Protein backbone atom coordinates (compact mmCIF):
# COMPACT_ATOMS: atom_id res chain seq x y z
CA UNK A 1 0.00 0.00 0.00
CA UNK A 2 1.32 3.45 -0.92
CA UNK A 3 2.07 5.84 1.91
CA UNK A 4 0.00 9.00 2.14
CA UNK A 5 1.75 12.34 1.72
CA UNK A 6 -0.10 13.88 4.66
CA UNK A 7 -2.16 12.49 7.52
CA UNK A 8 -4.43 14.31 10.01
CA UNK A 9 -2.09 13.80 12.97
CA UNK A 10 0.86 15.37 11.14
CA UNK A 11 -1.39 18.25 10.14
CA UNK A 12 -2.43 18.75 13.77
CA UNK A 13 1.18 18.59 14.97
CA UNK A 14 1.94 21.48 12.63
CA UNK A 15 -0.88 23.53 14.18
CA UNK A 16 0.46 22.68 17.63
CA UNK A 17 3.93 23.81 16.61
CA UNK A 18 2.71 27.25 15.51
CA UNK A 19 0.54 27.66 18.61
CA UNK A 20 -2.87 26.98 17.10
CA UNK A 21 -3.64 23.60 18.63
CA UNK A 22 -6.95 23.67 20.53
CA UNK A 23 -6.56 24.46 24.20
CA UNK A 24 -9.89 22.90 25.17
CA UNK A 25 -10.68 19.24 25.76
CA UNK A 26 -12.28 17.72 22.66
CA UNK A 27 -15.40 15.66 23.53
CA UNK A 28 -15.72 12.15 22.17
CA UNK A 29 -19.17 13.05 20.82
CA UNK A 30 -19.37 15.78 18.19
CA UNK A 31 -22.34 17.10 16.24
CA UNK A 32 -21.96 19.12 13.04
CA UNK A 33 -24.90 21.54 12.81
CA UNK A 34 -25.33 22.80 9.24
CA UNK A 35 -28.04 25.50 9.35
CA UNK A 36 -26.32 28.67 10.55
CA UNK A 37 -29.43 30.01 12.29
CA UNK A 38 -29.79 26.78 14.26
CA UNK A 39 -26.11 26.83 15.21
CA UNK A 40 -26.52 30.38 16.53
CA UNK A 41 -29.63 29.39 18.47
CA UNK A 42 -27.86 26.44 20.06
CA UNK A 43 -24.90 28.60 21.06
CA UNK A 44 -27.29 31.04 22.72
CA UNK A 45 -29.36 28.34 24.44
CA UNK A 46 -26.64 26.16 25.97
CA UNK A 47 -23.75 27.09 28.27
CA UNK A 48 -20.57 26.69 26.24
CA UNK A 49 -16.88 27.22 25.97
CA UNK A 50 -14.98 28.00 22.80
CA UNK A 51 -12.05 26.22 21.21
CA UNK A 52 -9.35 27.82 19.09
CA UNK A 53 -7.05 26.97 16.21
CA UNK A 54 -8.32 24.06 14.18
CA UNK A 55 -11.33 23.82 16.49
CA UNK A 56 -12.37 27.42 15.89
CA UNK A 57 -16.10 27.63 16.35
CA UNK A 58 -16.26 24.53 18.54
CA UNK A 59 -18.76 24.88 21.38
CA UNK A 60 -18.61 22.42 24.25
CA UNK A 61 -21.79 21.69 26.18
CA UNK A 62 -20.93 20.09 29.52
CA UNK A 63 -23.20 18.42 32.03
CA UNK A 64 -21.39 16.78 34.92
CA UNK A 65 -18.55 14.69 33.55
CA UNK A 66 -20.11 14.38 30.08
CA UNK A 67 -19.68 16.79 27.21
CA UNK A 68 -20.83 17.30 23.63
CA UNK A 69 -18.98 19.27 20.99
CA UNK A 70 -21.06 21.42 18.62
CA UNK A 71 -19.48 22.57 15.35
CA UNK A 72 -20.77 24.63 12.42
CA UNK A 73 -21.18 22.06 9.66
CA UNK A 74 -18.89 22.45 6.62
CA UNK A 75 -20.46 22.65 3.16
CA UNK A 76 -19.73 19.85 0.72
CA UNK A 77 -18.20 16.38 0.83
CA UNK A 78 -14.49 17.37 0.81
CA UNK A 79 -14.83 19.72 3.80
CA UNK A 80 -17.06 17.28 5.69
CA UNK A 81 -14.40 14.59 5.28
CA UNK A 82 -11.56 16.95 6.20
CA UNK A 83 -13.23 18.16 9.38
CA UNK A 84 -14.30 14.65 10.38
CA UNK A 85 -10.70 13.47 9.96
CA UNK A 86 -9.38 16.30 12.10
CA UNK A 87 -11.89 15.84 14.90
CA UNK A 88 -11.25 12.10 14.92
CA UNK A 89 -7.53 12.79 15.25
CA UNK A 90 -8.33 15.14 18.13
CA UNK A 91 -10.23 12.40 19.97
CA UNK A 92 -13.82 12.39 18.70
CA UNK A 93 -15.27 8.89 18.46
CA UNK A 94 -18.87 9.66 17.46
CA UNK A 95 -19.79 12.27 14.85
CA UNK A 96 -23.42 13.09 14.12
CA UNK A 97 -24.47 15.61 11.49
CA UNK A 98 -27.66 17.65 11.58
CA UNK A 99 -28.38 19.10 8.18
CA UNK A 100 -30.89 19.60 5.40
CA UNK A 101 -31.71 17.73 2.22
CA UNK A 102 -33.97 17.79 -0.78
CA UNK A 103 -36.78 15.21 -0.79
CA UNK A 104 -36.93 12.76 -3.69
CA UNK A 105 -39.78 10.83 -2.13
CA UNK A 106 -42.94 12.79 -2.86
CA UNK A 107 -44.58 11.67 0.36
CA UNK A 108 -42.03 13.62 2.42
CA UNK A 109 -42.99 17.11 3.55
CA UNK A 110 -40.82 20.07 4.46
CA UNK A 111 -39.70 19.66 8.06
CA UNK A 112 -39.84 15.86 8.05
CA UNK A 113 -36.73 14.24 9.51
CA UNK A 114 -34.82 11.51 7.71
CA UNK A 115 -32.48 9.29 9.72
CA UNK A 116 -29.95 8.38 7.06
CA UNK A 117 -29.17 4.67 7.43
CA UNK A 118 -27.08 4.59 4.24
CA UNK A 119 -25.89 6.92 1.52
CA UNK A 120 -25.44 6.48 -2.23
CA UNK A 121 -21.80 7.39 -2.89
CA UNK A 122 -22.14 9.62 -5.97
CA UNK A 123 -19.51 12.17 -4.90
CA UNK A 124 -15.74 12.21 -5.31
CA UNK A 125 -14.52 11.70 -1.75
CA UNK A 126 -15.74 8.25 -0.74
CA UNK A 127 -13.89 6.41 -3.51
CA UNK A 128 -10.57 7.75 -2.22
CA UNK A 129 -11.29 6.10 1.12
CA UNK A 130 -13.11 2.91 0.12
CA UNK A 131 -12.69 2.46 -3.61
CA UNK A 132 -15.63 2.33 -6.05
CA UNK A 133 -18.41 1.53 -3.58
CA UNK A 134 -22.07 2.10 -4.37
CA UNK A 135 -23.29 2.65 -0.80
CA UNK A 136 -21.87 3.45 2.62
CA UNK A 137 -23.55 2.69 5.92
CA UNK A 138 -24.34 4.63 9.08
CA UNK A 139 -23.26 3.45 12.52
CA UNK A 140 -25.70 0.78 13.67
CA UNK A 141 -25.06 1.78 17.28
CA UNK A 142 -26.04 5.41 16.72
CA UNK A 143 -28.89 4.41 14.43
CA UNK A 144 -30.40 2.20 17.12
CA UNK A 145 -29.93 4.83 19.81
CA UNK A 146 -31.48 7.70 17.89
CA UNK A 147 -34.47 5.71 16.58
CA UNK A 148 -35.22 4.53 20.10
CA UNK A 149 -35.00 8.11 21.40
CA UNK A 150 -37.25 9.43 18.62
CA UNK A 151 -39.99 6.99 19.68
CA UNK A 152 -40.49 9.22 22.71
CA UNK A 153 -41.03 12.36 20.60
CA UNK A 154 -43.81 13.59 18.32
CA UNK A 155 -41.49 14.14 15.36
CA UNK A 156 -42.30 12.64 11.98
CA UNK A 157 -39.18 10.56 11.37
CA UNK A 158 -38.37 8.28 8.44
CA UNK A 159 -35.38 5.95 8.15
CA UNK A 160 -33.76 5.36 4.78
CA UNK A 161 -31.14 6.14 2.18
CA UNK A 162 -29.89 9.45 0.83
CA UNK A 163 -28.17 10.23 -2.45
CA UNK A 164 -24.95 12.18 -1.90
CA UNK A 165 -24.19 14.19 -5.02
CA UNK A 166 -21.64 17.02 -4.91
CA UNK A 167 -22.76 18.90 -8.04
CA UNK A 168 -26.35 19.97 -7.37
CA UNK A 169 -26.68 21.91 -10.61
CA UNK A 170 -25.85 18.73 -12.53
CA UNK A 171 -28.64 16.55 -11.12
CA UNK A 172 -30.81 15.16 -13.91
CA UNK A 173 -34.42 14.00 -13.97
CA UNK A 174 -33.18 10.60 -15.11
CA UNK A 175 -31.11 10.30 -11.93
CA UNK A 176 -33.91 11.60 -9.73
CA UNK A 177 -36.38 9.06 -11.11
CA UNK A 178 -33.83 6.26 -10.89
CA UNK A 179 -33.03 6.84 -7.22
CA UNK A 180 -36.66 7.50 -6.37
CA UNK A 181 -37.57 4.11 -7.90
CA UNK A 182 -34.93 2.51 -5.66
CA UNK A 183 -36.56 3.97 -2.55
CA UNK A 184 -33.92 6.65 -1.92
CA UNK A 185 -35.51 9.39 0.16
CA UNK A 186 -33.33 12.50 -0.18
CA UNK A 187 -30.42 14.16 -1.94
CA UNK A 188 -27.64 16.15 -0.24
CA UNK A 189 -23.88 16.82 -0.51
CA UNK A 190 -22.04 15.37 2.51
CA UNK A 191 -23.33 12.14 4.04
CA UNK A 192 -21.52 9.52 1.92
CA UNK A 193 -18.19 11.26 2.50
CA UNK A 194 -18.69 11.27 6.27
CA UNK A 195 -19.70 7.59 6.32
CA UNK A 196 -16.71 6.66 4.15
CA UNK A 197 -14.25 8.40 6.50
CA UNK A 198 -15.93 6.73 9.48
CA UNK A 199 -15.63 3.31 7.84
CA UNK A 200 -11.97 3.89 7.03
CA UNK A 201 -10.92 5.33 10.39
CA UNK A 202 -13.21 3.32 12.65
CA UNK A 203 -15.49 5.84 14.36
CA UNK A 204 -19.28 6.01 14.65
CA UNK A 205 -21.17 8.34 12.29
CA UNK A 206 -24.81 9.19 11.62
CA UNK A 207 -26.62 11.92 9.70
CA UNK A 208 -30.02 13.39 10.51
CA UNK A 209 -31.59 15.35 7.66
CA UNK A 210 -34.43 17.82 7.75
CA UNK A 211 -36.36 18.12 4.48
CA UNK A 212 -35.74 21.69 3.28
CA UNK A 213 -37.03 21.40 -0.28
CA UNK A 214 -38.76 18.92 -2.56
CA UNK A 215 -38.16 17.64 -6.06
CA UNK A 216 -41.47 16.70 -7.65
CA UNK A 217 -42.64 16.14 -11.18
CA UNK A 218 -43.79 19.78 -11.07
CA UNK A 219 -40.19 20.89 -10.47
CA UNK A 220 -38.18 22.17 -7.51
CA UNK A 221 -40.21 23.32 -4.50
CA UNK A 222 -38.14 25.22 -1.89
CA UNK A 223 -39.14 25.30 1.76
CA UNK A 224 -36.06 26.67 3.49
CA UNK A 225 -38.01 29.42 5.26
CA UNK A 226 -40.62 27.09 6.71
CA UNK A 227 -40.35 27.46 10.53
CA UNK A 228 -41.18 23.78 10.97
CA UNK A 229 -37.77 22.89 9.51
CA UNK A 230 -35.73 24.67 12.19
CA UNK A 231 -38.17 23.64 14.92
CA UNK A 232 -37.82 19.95 14.06
CA UNK A 233 -34.05 20.13 13.63
CA UNK A 234 -33.88 21.79 17.03
CA UNK A 235 -35.81 18.86 18.49
CA UNK A 236 -33.35 16.50 16.81
CA UNK A 237 -30.50 18.32 18.52
CA UNK A 238 -32.23 18.11 21.90
CA UNK A 239 -32.87 14.40 21.34
CA UNK A 240 -29.20 13.75 20.63
CA UNK A 241 -28.26 15.78 23.69
CA UNK A 242 -30.51 13.48 25.70
CA UNK A 243 -28.58 10.47 24.42
CA UNK A 244 -25.23 12.10 25.19
CA UNK A 245 -26.22 13.09 28.71
CA UNK A 246 -28.16 9.93 29.56
CA UNK A 247 -31.63 11.49 29.64
CA UNK A 248 -33.49 9.28 27.20
CA UNK A 249 -34.99 7.01 29.79
Predicted confidence (pLDDT) per residue in 135-186, tens digit: 999 999 999 999 999 999 989 899 999 999 999 999 999 999 999 999 999 9
Spatial neighbors of 204 by CB under 8 A, at least 6 apart, are: 93, 94, 95, 139, 141, 142, 198
- pTM, to two decimals: 0.94
Please tell me what DSSP assigns to residue 223.
Answer: -
Stretch among 5-14, 108-117, 197-206, 231-240 having the lowest mean pLDDT: 5-14
Treating both helix axes as pointing N-terminal to C-terminal, what angle do 227-244 and 36-45 enclose, rounded to 10 degrees? 50
At the topology level, CATH places domain 26-244 in Rossmann fold (3.40.50)
Contact 90, 22 (CB under 8 A): yes
Amino acid sequence: MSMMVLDPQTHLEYFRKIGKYPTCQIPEQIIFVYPRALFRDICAKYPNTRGDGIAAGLRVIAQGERSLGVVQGPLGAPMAALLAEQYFALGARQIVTLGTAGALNEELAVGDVVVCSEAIADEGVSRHYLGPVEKVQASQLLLTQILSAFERTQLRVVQGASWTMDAPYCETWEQVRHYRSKGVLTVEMEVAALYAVAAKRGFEALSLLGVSDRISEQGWIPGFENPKLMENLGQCFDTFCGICFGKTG
